[in-house]
Chains A and B, each alone.
Chain A
Amino acid sequence: MTIDLILFLILALVAVATALGMLLSRNAVYSALFLVLNFATVAVFYILLAAPFIAMVQVTVYAGAIMVLFLFVIMLLGTDVLPPGKALPWQRPLAGVLAFILAAEAVYLLVARAAPAEEIFRPEAFVNTMESLRVMGRMLFNEYLLPFEVTSILLLVAMIGAIVLTLKEKGEQN
């Protein structure tokens, strides 16, 4: 029972708890906030896993930009709480069962069937140094140039889409 392990367990606990909170809280705003917390915890994991850059992106883009956007929309639409619906009574239990089975399968897979390298040894080389950022930057524009460009197009398309969907045209009322 090492420090890391304890730390991991605590964080894991927090992550799961926040996730569940997101899942269960009736109010959308709370859900969003729980999710922010969850992302934050995950960011910590990234750091533990020696991925500072990702952790940073996680916090800024995810927890920051995206979730804020969510909150905006929630507030804007004022749909934080939906009236209780009675449709699909069997949906919840069924979903629960399926989810449980899925989790069980995953655990079984990972524990019993396929065990990746046991320990994470500690490579001194690139722990949270600027080096790693530089390397990744270089990689992004060499090996991963194409995906990068594609992503840019993707974002462009998304943007167009958003505009197309929301922009009110002249003479169009709804």
Chain B
Amino acid sequence: MVPVNYYIILSAVLFTIGALGVLIRRNPLIIFMSVELMLNAANLAFVAFARANGDSNVAYSGQIFVFFVIAVAAAEVAVGLALIVQIFKSRHSINVDEMNSLKG
């Protein structure tokens, strides 16, 4: 019997790693992956919480939420990748550190 907390803690750790990735990587693709990791961690937490509760409806609603999150993630990916590709086309680099013409 694994306590739910363990799952939540795990998800928290994953979430943190994802956040860290956003902060320290310079490749927008990897930053983006890190975001996906964060969402993923959230999903894990959701399912765990859903499971923790006996009521099946609750359980299902949790899972459905996860479903939506994944859909949204997909949508984001579509836009995000398009954006990145476009940028690469125009400046032949996607290093976010080189995108700081707007500042101050």
Q: Would A and B touch once assembled, by the CB under 8 A criterion?
A: yes
Beyond known contacts A58-B43, A120-B52: 11 more, CB 8 A cutoff: A22-B30, A35-B37, A38-B14, A66-B36, A66-B77, A73-B85, A106-B9, A106-B16, A110-B9, A116-B52, A120-B3
Q: Complex formed: what's the CA distance from A29 to B65 in Å? A: 30
Cβ of B28 to closest chain A Cβ, rounded Å: 9
| Interface presence of A5 (CB below 8 A) | yes
Given contacts A35-B37, A166-B82, contact A95 B20 (CB under 8 A): yes
* Partner among A38, A48, A57, A69 whose Cβ is within 8 Å of the Cβ of B77: A69
User: Which 6 A-B residue pairings sit nearest by Cβ, starting from the closest?
Assistant: A106-B12, A95-B23, A158-B75, A162-B82, A99-B20, A165-B82
**B84 and A5: CB pair below 8 A?**
no
Cβ of B13 to closest chain A Cβ, rounded Å: 6
Number of interface residues of A (CB under 8 A): 87
| Interface presence of A4 (CB below 8 A) | yes
Number of A-B residue pairs, CB cutoff 8 Å, is 235
Main secondary structure of the interface of A (DSSP, over half): helix
B contact residues around A96 at 8 Å (CB):
20, 24
**B12 and A107: CB pair below 8 A?**
yes
Q: Which A98-145 residues sit within 8 Å CB-CB of chain B?
A: 98-100, 102-103, 106-107, 110-111, 115-121, 123, 125-126, 132, 135-136, 139-140, 143-144
Number of interface residues of B (CB under 8 A): 75
Given contacts A57-B70, A66-B73, A99-B23, contact A111 B5 (CB under 8 A): yes
**B60 and A139: CB pair below 8 A?**
yes
Given contacts A32-B33, A35-B37, A103-B13, contact A123 B54 (CB under 8 A): yes
Cβ of B86 to closest chain A Cβ, rounded Å: 5
* Partner among A88, A120, A174 whose Cβ is within 8 Å of the Cβ of B4: A120
**A61 and B70: CB pair below 8 A?**
yes
**B6 and A12: CB pair below 8 A?**
yes
* Partner among B9, B18, B85 whose Cβ is within 8 Å of the Cβ of A107: B9
Given contacts A103-B16, A157-B75, contact A82 B36 (CB under 8 A): no
Q: Complex formed: what's the CA distance from A89 to B94 in Å? A: 19
Q: Complex formed: what's the CA distance from A27 to B98 in Å? A: 19
A contact residues around B84 at 8 Å (CB):
73, 77
Given contacts A31-B30, A161-B78, contact A120 B2 (CB under 8 A): yes
